[in-house]
Amino acid sequence: MKELQKSRKNSKTAELKQMRMGLKIGANDLEIKLRKIREFLSEGHKVKILVVFRGREMAHQELGFVMIEKIAASLEEYAILEQKPQMAGRNLSIVIRSK
Q: What is the CATH number of the domain that holds 60?
A: 3.30.110.10
* pLDDT value for 23: 93
As for how many domains the chain has, the answer is 1
* pLDDT value for 75: 92
Strands (E), the chain: 16-22, 46-52, 79-88, 91-98
- Does residue 7 form part of some domain? no
- Does residue 18 form part of some domain? yes
Q: Domain of 34?
A: 14-98
- Does residue 1 form part of some domain? no
- Does residue 54 form part of some domain? yes
Mean pLDDT by 10 residues, the chain (99 residues): 66 83 94 95 93 94 94 92 92 93
- Does residue 5 form part of some domain? no
CB 51 within 8 A of CB 91: yes
* pLDDT value for 35: 95
* pLDDT value for 8: 65
- Does residue 21 form part of some domain? yes
